[in-house]
Amino acid sequence: MPHTYMLECADGSFYVGSTRDLERRVWKHQEGLGAAYTRRRRPVRLVWCEEYARIDEAFAREKQIQNWSRAKRLALIEQRYDALPALAERHARRRRREGGLDTPSPSGSDGSTT
């Protein structure tokens, strides 16, 4: 079954990916045969995963989570699902402030869903 997964790297950063074979993929990351990002940050540890019926669903979730802040990723790992909407809004406000915008974006979010 396809999975979306998150690894914690030796430097404390997170890597988000998707795969059809989770056990094999994590092994490849651990052996330095996975993504270049994890190759330089071993050892890695699987900290979160979700299973999907189709690989395109897993890939879409991967792309969604890759756009999330570290705080929102931590909330997901810690299963604090009720915190996700507030973290998304906080991230959106920060992005607007850094971009020089003082009004909410048309969608009212940072482009990610919870």
Q: Per residue in 8-27, pLDDT tens?
A: 999 999 999 999 999 999 99
Same-domain pairing of 62 and 73? no
Read off the pLDDT of residues 50-75 as tens digits, 9 standing for 90 and up.
999 999 999 999 999 999 999 999 99
Question: pTM of the predicted model, to two decimals?
Answer: 0.80
Higher pLDDT, 114 or 41: 41
Q: Which residues form the domain of 78? A: 68-101
Q: Is residue 14 part of a domain?
A: yes
Answer with the residue of higher pLDDT: 110 or 101: 101
Residue pair 5/34 in contact (Cβ under 8 Å)? The answer is no
Nearest to 114 by CA among 78, 74, 87, 96: 87
Q: Both 47 and 76 in a single domain?
A: no
Whether 29 shows a pLDDT value over 90: the answer reads: yes
Q: How far is CA 12 from CA 21, 29, 96, in A?
A: 24, 15, 27
Whether 1 and 50 share a structural domain: yes
Residues 81, 50 share a domain: no
Vertex 44: Cα angle to 67 and 4 (nearest 5): 45
